[in-house]
Structure 1
Amino acid sequence: MSQASDNLVIGKIGAPHGVKGWVKINTYTNVPEGIFEYLPWILGEEQEYRVDQWRPHGKVLVAKLVNIETRDDAERIKNLDIRITAEQLPELDEGEFYWRELTGMQVVTTQGYDLGVVKDVFNTGANDVIQVKANAKDAFDQKERLLPFVLDEVVQAVDKVGRIITVDWDPGF
């Protein structure tokens, strides 16, 4: 089994549904039903669980996991994160990447100014944003910057092998 740090949270087990071990599923995947494409799930202390059955129920999804037979069993796993290993993610096409791959990458401007490293990536609704932790010797004395992750406008290149993101950005901003 992978280390917990190699695991990715893709959802959360919700409240029990009925008395036969079914649980509600809170999913973080783009397509809610897509959570069932990533099996087995890891819950709790690195315990693997397999989904026996699942179905939509109104606006939510419910699932019956193998060896979860009663409402008490379902209560025991309630609120646990649903995790998978990074190896379970699909391979991406050339030029595509997962947010987790961007974390820790060096960010430099097209003029060669080192802005720092990516601390986090998040979505604002309008576009994705990278939070860049500035270097200790930042000439502009900034602790962090938020840069829009807009390809071809701000982000000029992402070098996954070299772990460098090149941006068209004024270091003073």
Structure 2
Amino acid sequence: MQPSKWVPVGRISRTHGTDGAVLIVAYGETLGERQADERLFVCLPSMRIPKALTIEDIRPHGRQWRVRFREVGHMQAARALVGLEVGVPEEELPELEEGEYYHYQLVGLRVETVSGHFLGILKEILESPAHDIYVVEDERGGELLLPAVEEIVRAVRPEENRVVVQPPAGLTDDL
């Protein structure tokens, strides 16, 4: 049996209070669907295999999630987790509708215009209240920010390792 693929669903941004709780910036909606007694995994720098942590309490806190883990009982232990990503095994992710993708499935794909011009590699996806924003890194290390809206993102084809876009006029003139 092959080991599960570990999929990041958030990053621990800081401690919260004195009881070992942490605040987590979520990647997408998966973290918000987790409940008490379910597990999240964290990969400590000294470990190769992610360590399971059991959720004792999870609730929204502004634009983040306040999470208390059963195994983390004090602030000192929580401080050691700040900056680390939390994740779940791929098979625990909810099924998506046709044409929907998790961020991890898109990051790393080639981004091309509808005419076939290579713009770069999808490096990161930023979430904003209106829509996601694709951060595309070009061959020179520059970044292009593309709103992930239907008028711009024309096709997502992970099986072909590419995203096809129609950038707004003037956005790619310097490329």
TM over 0.5: yes
SS at match of 1:85: strand
- Look up the match of 1:98: 102
- Look up the match of 1:89: 93
Change (3 A) 1:94 1:143: same
Change (3 A) 1:165 1:25: same
- Look up the match of 1:144: 143
Higher mean alpha-carbon deviation, 87-96 vs 154-163, is at: 87-96
Contact preservation (8 Å) 1:11, 1:27:
yes
Amino acid across the alignment from 2:125: V
TM-score (norm 1): 0.67
- Look up the match of 1:139: none
1:101 and 1:16 mapped to 2: Cα distance? 35
* Structure 1 residue 157: Cα displacement: 0.5
- Look up the match of 2:173: 172
Change (3 A) 1:23 1:101: same
What is the alpha-carbon root mean square deviation over aligned residues? 3.6
Contact preservation (8 Å) 1:27, 1:35:
no
SS at match of 1:94: coil
- Say whether 1:28 aligns with 2:25: yes
Alpha-carbon displacement from aligned partner over 1:32-61 (angstroms, at most 9, x marks no partner): 75342793222444332223x437699885
Change (3 A) 1:27 1:155: same
2:78 and 2:40 mapped to 1: Cα distance? 14
Identity among equivalent pairs (%): 22
Which has the larger Rg?
1
Change (3 A) 1:91 1:38: farther
- Look up the match of 1:119: 123
TM-score (norm 2): 0.67
1:23 and 1:131 mapped to 2: Cα distance? 34
Contact preservation (8 Å) 2:35, 2:58:
no
Change (3 A) 1:97 1:38: farther
Gaps of 5+ in 1: 137-141
- Say whether 1:75 aligns with 2:72: no
Gaps of 5+ in 2: none
Matches within 5 A, 1:60-71: 61=66, 63=68, 65=70
* Structure 1 residue 122: Cα displacement: 0.8
